[in-house]
Structure 1
Amino acid sequence: MLRTIDLRGTRPTQRELLALVPRAATDVSAALETARTLVEEVREHGEQALLAQAERLDRVRPPAIRVPESELREALAALDPGIRRAVESTIERVRAASAAQVPAPERTVLADGAVVEQRWQPVARVGLYVPGGKAVYPSSVVMNVVPAQAAGVASIALASPPQAAHGGRIHPTVAAVAALLGITEVYAMGGAGAIGAFAYGVDELGLDPVQRVTGPGNVYVAAAKRVVASVTGIDAEAGPTDILVIADDAADADFVAADLISQAEHDELAASVLVTDSEPFAARVLERLASRAAATKHRERVLAALGGAQSALVLVDDLAQAAAFANAFGPEHLEIQVRDADAVLAGIENAGAIFLGPYSPVSLGDYAAGSNHVLPTGGQARHAAGLSAATFLRPQQIVRYDERALREVAPVIAALSAEEDLPAHGEAVTARFPEG
């Protein structure tokens, strides 16, 4: 089960904490050459490379890389009504939360005739990736598409791997949700090749290059994003999921165990970490973990994840130390289940999404909270944010100065341009005032 990291009686430095945090034994750089080869194959050979990669890696040849719109409509018509209602509810909540992420334009008046305007301009075209490995992820369609739409992106393309179980077509639920959201440009392509197709375009398919690629995926998808990052924008190099729970002895041990398992069932490399200041409480959680893990559907996957180097039980002296450890870990998902959650929250700096209290489990955020579940993994929350409308927006400053306002700052420009030995900068201003 979970290995133990005992920090009680110690006060590790930030550098020491970073060395102590548990991590999965994955290295995106190790997949770079393979990803680069797959991307270059698509760049050079287009549709034929995508078909060959599908046969080799997905073990099926898609009847077509570009999914016909009729197939999307048919998938939506066949979608179970209960699933459709659930998806529509999720769309509504995520759309409302995403709309709140779009900043309003700002206008700053610095002097008479001197104005700087701030606007947030969406990229024109994006490529959204929806994985299709151990599970089907219609929720990831919602989490990618809705923020892009809220940001005002005009052209949205979506890719998901062809499925052998569905004759080389994308999963019908993914197709249905794409149709429900009005997305008609959908491709049956997966992995690094799909990322390369988005970045460079594929003429035969009418697939134009995109300005930003987003969405989760395996290590080869993450590596491919790194490969194309100089060509197109990316959201993050997503890896195996992780959850860190800060809990004290007031928490419900069974709730905590259930939440740790909920993320462990994603992948054998998923990280489940409990940080607590109560050893008796930790023992209760371990007991519930053993019981729940034995009974869950994906128990082999769960047990592999819980027993991996990336998962741990961390014992601390107090909740301040718990927050410090969480900040060093930089969790994708952080749960705080303690008597005074807001007090602990005040000490948190680094997390993809934060879930407060016993009735805000991570699985709520995966589906129905309204928050986005495409989040930075592998400690990237220490420097990166989750997917949002802002992912698809670029801040742009618009400068409006009239003659009088420019004349007032001309001495400032002259002084600084002279100091930097860039006299033509100053001359570009004085040329406008030949009378001196």
Structure 2
Amino acid sequence: MDSSHPPLFLGCIADDVTGATDIASNLVQAGMRTVQVFGVPNPADLMALQADAVVVALKSRSIDRDAAVSMSLQSLAALQQAGAQRFFFKYCSTFDSTPAGNIGPVAESLMNELGVAQTIFCPAFPANGRTVYQGHLFVNGQLLNESGMHNHPLNPMTDANLVRVLQRQTTKSVGLIDWNDLRAAKVRSSMQSLADDGIAMVITDACDDDHLQRLAQQTTQLEFLTGGSGIARWLPQAWRESGLLTAVDSEPSALAAFDRVADRGRAAVLSGSCSPATNRQVHYLKSRCASLALDIERLLASPENALADMEHFLRAVPDREPLMIYSTSDPERVAQLQQAFGTAVVAEAIETAMGRLAKQLVDDHGVRRLVLAGGETAGAVTRKLGIHAIRVGPEICPGVPLTETVSAEPLSLVLKSGNFGDDQFFEKAIQVAT
């Protein structure tokens, strides 16, 4: 490591790949040199990075609870050995989880390992329409359970009351700091009152960026925080003001300087998310470039034949033209497939296919710019391509940056959470990455 660069300050553990990129983007926008790594890291590799923040991207959101806890604790140990002073557990701004977890169990285990008696849970991301009021999560003005998230194929969210949701997942007591405490700058005193009552996990209201900024300023004493990426935009400033973060404020990378592969290769979109936002994005793009929908039933019946069909499609698309392959579908079709074949079977088949497709695109079809929609898709693709780390660059839309692999032969990657971006996002991402 360059001895002139300050040591690692912040270690983040994210429960999926696109969520990791989301918080990394906000940290970069706030002036922190940030690197994202994939999977449980080696401490020696982390210590070699010249970064103020490292974000560990796990695939732990929808897996077995004990496995999620184990890999999160291993990641924490690596970040501690690398010298991190503050820690953050990142989950989705729609609080994606089941009644059994994994948000509560992972957070509880991290708290116990760090010896932390109390922390906050702040999923709000107002810039992307996620707000919390009186403990209830809203998505673009609709209650979480009425926003389309009740149709999520893996983690359907049927309750907007986050205090109630989190309490089902943990043995610790859960409380609330509401917007009145934020407005009156009473967060620290309110947390102390809650601690006196035995409340360890504190859901926080946040209706706008002013609330997030105030919350960041009033929680600098906490060694460990949890939340979505919204508050991450304001934490570095609060740490600098309190004297905790001494690293020089870094300007986000300029696009021209960042993208070293802009003149080489073609762009491809691989979309596995079935969120309403991604459905609209797929619908917009498929009439504007060569597109193919995965035939899930054929994929399940004969993976090799289905992939051969896709290879035939790829060879028919003229060189250097962008293309899109998607499994994105409406909730009714998703439910039919899950009922017929099983949720886990369908998910595994799609992830495996997306990983193999990405490998084909890069190895055989000249693709050097990939736009990946959905955390499961992004995780499958980065694993199949053997991507270990990415540099995080300029923002395309809130929570979605352009990134570049750390390798001798770099790829440009756009890793998009299913719920993020407007209808034209895929088209914009292709243009930016080009």
Tell which has more relative contact order, 1 or 2 (C-alpha 8 A, sep 6+).
Answer: 1
Same fold (TM over 0.5): no
Structure showing the higher helix proportion among its residues: 1
TM-score range, shorter chain: 0.3 to 0.5
Rg bigger for which structure?
A: 1
Q: TM-score, normalised by structure 2?
A: 0.33
